[in-house]
Structure 1
């Protein structure tokens, strides 16, 4: 039998301790090397609001700087043309109707009339839950609008969706008092004024990252700019109306100008703390603009927010990750959906999703690394379950209530089979020529696919 003296035992113990420490350090280093992720979800931003996408309202040098350092997609789509369901799609990687979301959340009466839930079910998978389970620090700073506010007092808290920290607006289960002094969306009495809200959320984001050093961060930075009411910073820009006249283009320009400044502060803050080289930044919007200023905010695309035409769902998209994503490039071919972000970002972060997750999106990380590719899966939309809660927009922006895109083709129709419209989006992105009658076989195939999808969706009370 091997005999060990005290010195040998001490030496072996020391070696084991050192080995354990090395293993722990290696695990820590691996986590530190995982990218931080910040999803900037702008509120109601049109496809061409910013310079990098053809916007001419005001210079947007900081957003253009982000675009120059990354990849732009010209065919990125929200899974819904309005805030609450579009946010659910991004958070869950699933079509929002699967969780009984069909329009914006309001009071309980409105939600019943719209045939939707009062808040997102906590059994829903979320990108924050997956990243938190993988060792990420998770934060949500900005608008929520997936439960809470008005007379919905029982909405679950942020932690039940996977977030370690949060600061949010009135339409959430835990509004930040600095933003909601009068228990409403915005007030002149708020300690953080309307024009400083994006600044406030940027500061919260940078503070959270500074406190979480040693762990990678996943952050939703979801400002409520550039949604109305538009209240610019300077007295010269602010006319004193409350809420601002939503048609007042000068007010919109002032808000957009300030928004760009704050995105610049975010980029500079990341660089100052040394996080700029290993942070994936995604910049996009929840849906199209309203008002659209005669279509100029959507580069002439048909429709607005609340519409399933391109102007309501096709939105700007930038992704930047130094040394990984292309620099100053645009992908005009690849179709990407908001449901794709969850599986794509998980892949980029080296996170294996559980086999139980049955999302509607696809891993499109190859697109983000600069390899354009066709979409092998249809995209579906719905907006307008009835005639009570879905009266807007008015003609000509009001669309049928269902849509599907399959390759170059997009078909819209009502769920009762009426008002069938077919467009070749690659040739007619402004959806000006309905070619349904000229393509009866294709039209019937897409109608069948759309109805199969529609009939597969749970309806309120059936889930």
Structure 2
């Protein structure tokens, strides 16, 4: 069939633009790594001078670092809901971490994510992917909530989790500098079997080994895979290998944290080497790496950003995203930092579905936007719609911050925070003020009015939280 001049032009442009396109007809493999409580500034590739993360840094040097990537909550469970579903977690009434059923009721939140939620894993499974979850779940089945749906009811073929999920799990042993051994969350054995106890300092390797076994099986079956690797690291309590770092349990929180961070990086070296040393995997795998929220006070670092975990300030919600893909990432973008594109975790689902040649189910709710070109370094586009937030209902005063704002919205170069009724607005030009030091609300009344109306209208459209 004769090509039109336009088709010929597109073909030539594709040859010379450096765009990253698959070199195979096989569907691409996808690995999503979601670290727990790691700050925006904790990786040495993002400016940390007190700890070294060479394996993750190598991933960054061969891929793309994104400076303005956001998760959709400053706390664990809702952040995980957002990245899994491509929707705001408020839609599912999960706005703080899931805990004991009595505590959940006091905060007016669900005990688990509705299994009918539009899961990324389910969308990929429908087009032939083997889907596995390895690591922390925390979207149902924790503490005394032992009747939540199994992880496999959310579109996963296999799972291995910790004490915050149902089914097969790894649970942490501890060992102090004297060699004394203990257990954390021993009662979590009620949340499913089989149970394997493993040293807390090595447990990330346990999840990685299970993920590698799963990927081997998928390869043998000639199936593409989508794998979550969501470790307990670097969440407290901190139990590094004390002898290796010449530390005691009485060391500072920050020193213990950095030891755990460095050990986590060493353990991820095994996963990265597994992919990079196999040509078939290296040329057909996309890896995304980020953290679920900002750092715990006194442990990790958000760099120059304001705030910590649980806060709607930048330090609580901005995450250090790294994207690696040998044949998928644009050659001209490899090793670069994208400081322009503004997008968030809810955008990953529609982007990865497009990347995998899959489609969302008809009438499926979605808050994310397809930005796969940005993710692969082919453009610097940002999401078109604002990014909206509401704070965890139990975190009005936290980590030394009193009377925290209830809502936030990032729109273009601007960010506004306010209360539920729109009061006490704070307006920041984030591009020049990532530390949110210069409140411009009084100088920009029209912008404040517009952004306040948008974020309060969004919040009013979400299911209501009781006991605020």
CA distance in 2, matches of 1:198, 1:394: 28
Alignment of 1:296-315 (within 5 A): 297-315=301-319
Q: In structure 1, the residue corresponding to 2:245 is in which secondary structure?
A: coil
- TM-score, scaled to structure 1: 0.87
Q: TM-score, normalised by structure 2?
A: 0.86
Contact 1:307–1:397, Cα closer than 8 Å, also in 2: no
Give the counterpart of 2:395 among 383, 390, 396.
Answer: 390
2:84 to 73, 81, 91: 91
**Structure 1 contact 147–171 (Cα < 8 Å) conserved:** yes
SS at match of 2:287: strand
Instruction: Return the alpha-carbon distance in structure 2 between the equivalents of residues 450 and 45 of structure 1.
Output: 27
Among residues 190, 204, 214, which one is paired with 1:208 in the alignment?
214
What's 2:73 paired with?
Answer: 80
Return the alpha-carbon distance in structure 2 between the equivalents of residues 336 and 124 of structure 1. 21
Distance across 2 between alignment mates of 1:251 and 1:240: 9
Question: 1: distance between equivalents of 2:402 and 2:213?
Answer: 42
1:280 is aligned to 2:280: no
Q: Is the 8 A contact 2:87 2:367 kept in 1?
A: yes
Residues 46-445 of structure 1: matches in 2 within 5 Å? 46-176=39-169, 179=172, 182-184=186-188, 191-213=197-219, 214-235=222-243, 237=245, 239=247, 241=249, 247-274=252-279, 275-292=281-298, 297-325=301-329, 326-370=333-377, 371-385=379-393, 389-396=394-401, 399-445=404-450
- The structure that has the greater radius of gyration is 1
Are residues 398 and 33 of structure 1, via their aligned partners in 2, closer, same or farther at CA, if it must alter by over 3 Å?
A: farther
Deviations 1:231-283 (A, max 9, x none): 11242537554xx77x5222112111111111111111123443122110000
Q: CA deviation at 1:432?
A: 0.2
Separation of aligned partners in 2, 1:392 and 1:37: 39
Structure 1 contact 237–250 (Cα < 8 Å) conserved:
no
Structure 2, unmatched stretches of 5+, are 1-21, 173-183, 190-194
Report the Cα distance in structure 2 between the residues aligned to 1:195 and 1:410, rounded to whole angstroms: 38
CA deviation after TM superposition for structure 1 residue 153, in Å: 1.5
Q: In the alignment, is the contact (CA less than 8 A) between 2:23 and 2:283 conserved in 1?
A: no
Deviation at 1:291, TM superposition (A): 2.1
CA contact (8 A) 2:396 2:404 kept: no
Moved more, 354-363 or 228-237: 228-237
Aligned to 2:17: none
- CA 1:384 to 1:154, structure 2 compared with 1: closer, same or farther past 3 Å? same
Q: Do the aligned partners of residues 441 and 181 (structure 1) sit closer, same or farther apart at CA in structure 2, a change above 3 Å counting?
A: closer
In structure 2, what is the Cα distance between the partners aligned to 1:191 and 1:358?
39
Check whether the contact 1:148–1:172 (CA below 8 A) recurs between aligned residues: yes
Partner Cα distance (1:76, 1:292) in 2? 23
Any conservation in 2 of the 1:70–1:329 contact (CA below 8 Å)?
yes
Aligned length: 422
Q: Distance in 2 between matches of 1:457 and 1:320?
A: 35
The alpha-carbon deviation at position 359 of structure 1 amounts to 0.6
Q: Aligned pair in 2 of structure 1 residues 147, 49: CA closer, same or farther (>3 Å)? A: same
Alpha-carbon spacing, 1:229–1:181, altered in 2? closer, same or farther (3 Å)? closer
Partner SS state of residue 88, structure 1: helix
CA drift at 1:40: 0.4
Q: Structure 1 394/460 Cα, relative in aligned 2: closer, same or farther at 3 Å? A: closer
Check conservation: 2:142, 2:163, Cα contact below 8 A: yes
- Could you tell me how far 1:174 is from its partner in structure 2? 2.0
CA distance in 2, matches of 1:90, 1:140: 13
